[in-house]
Amino acid sequence: EAGVAQSPRYKIIEKRQSVAFWCNPISGHATLYWYQQILGQGPKLLIQFQNNGVVDDSQLPKDRFSAERLKGVDSTLKIQPAKLEDSAVYLCASSLDSQGPSYEQYFGPGTRLTVT
């Protein structure tokens, strides 16, 4: 089966510019996650969707970050305006559902963002 797809793989922008990342989860997976992984750290959950509804966005910096999952499939994560500290790898993951602990998350390859 096809894995989680993300694009672009790499992006370099200047501070105060905007950027968008795209994620296509595994077919049939209801739950979609966006993580931020800063160099040398573990991934930090930014937002979790169940179908097209937001389950948890408590760690999303809402003044500059936004995310949507129209039609409950693909998702986009946007940063506007970007800051230097947003330089990180942005990982998308999906799982069958969020109601059972046996549903492991499958991760995409990530988008490496560099803000200069």
What is the binding site for another protein (CB under 8 A)? 4, 31, 40-45, 48, 55-56, 91, 93, 95, 97-110, 112
Task: Using the minimum distance from each CB to another protein, give the nearer residue, 3 or 62.
Answer: 3
In 30-96, which ranges are E strands? 31-37, 44-50, 53-56, 65-68, 75-79, 88-95
CB 41 to another protein: min, Å: 6
CB 42 to another protein: min, Å: 3
Can you tell me whether residue 85 is helix, strand or coil?
helix
CA dist 59 and 65 (Å) reads: 10
Among residues 81, 63, 73, 70, which one has the least CA distance to residue 20?
81
CB 81 to another protein: min, Å: 27
Place of tokens 């937001």: 54
Q: What is the CA radius of gyration of the chain?
A: 13
CB 108 to another protein: min, Å: 5
